[in-house]
Amino acid sequence: MKKALMWLVTAVLAYMIFHWYQFTEMNLQAEQLYEASVNMAQIIEWVRQKRADSIDPEVDPNRTGLIGEEFTELTTTVGELEAKRTTTNPDMAALVCYLLMKVGVKKDDCVAIGASGSFPGLIVATLSACKAIGAKTCVICSIG
């Protein structure tokens, strides 16, 4: 009876420690995801203020300033407008942050970012995510 009780107490303690560790890890991740989203929202606000006069509300209804002309020196493909709009949501930064952490990116790691001028929202999301993690970045932009 004593042996069974000791095993039960040990099992319960192990279970509690395991779940406490997971909960702590989840809280740390949640803070980083939130920080990534806030970082991106701040950048969007800054861009919005700088481009206030040139934002087309039909193309960029959320007035992020991250969706511009269809073809420029930097944008070489049309891309799907809906996809571009999706990448301007600050939650995209949280998603990228989550995916980077899931593959093991940690503070001070270097992340290479292959970027297209057609999706500036995705570039901002990725940079915001890396900042939240504390990872260093190397951006490689394609120019048409």
> 92 CB contacts (<8 Å, ≥6 apart)?
40, 86, 121, 122, 125
User: How far apart, in whole angstroms, are the C-alpha atoms of residue 84 and residue 119?
Assistant: 6
Q: Taking the domains of the chain in order of start, what are their residue ranges?
A: 2-142
Predicted confidence at residue 136, as pLDDT, reads: 98
Predicted confidence at residue 48, as pLDDT, reads: 93
Measured in whole angstroms, the distance separating CA 50 from the mean position of its chain's CA atoms is 23
Top-confidence residue, 82 or 92: 92
User: Please, what sign has the CA dihedral across residues 122, 123, 124, 128?
Assistant: positive
Query: Could you tell me the pTM of the whole model?
Result: 0.77
Q: Take residue 106 and report the two structure tokens written for it.
A: 């940690």
Mean pLDDT of 5-18: 73
Model confidence at 1: pLDDT above 90: no
Predicted confidence at residue 84, as pLDDT, reads: 86
Predicted confidence at residue 24, as pLDDT, reads: 61
Mean pLDDT of 107-113: 96
Predicted confidence at residue 37, as pLDDT, reads: 97
pLDDT per residue as tens digits for the range 26-80: 566 889 999 999 999 999 999 999 988 888 888 888 899 888 766 666 555 567 8
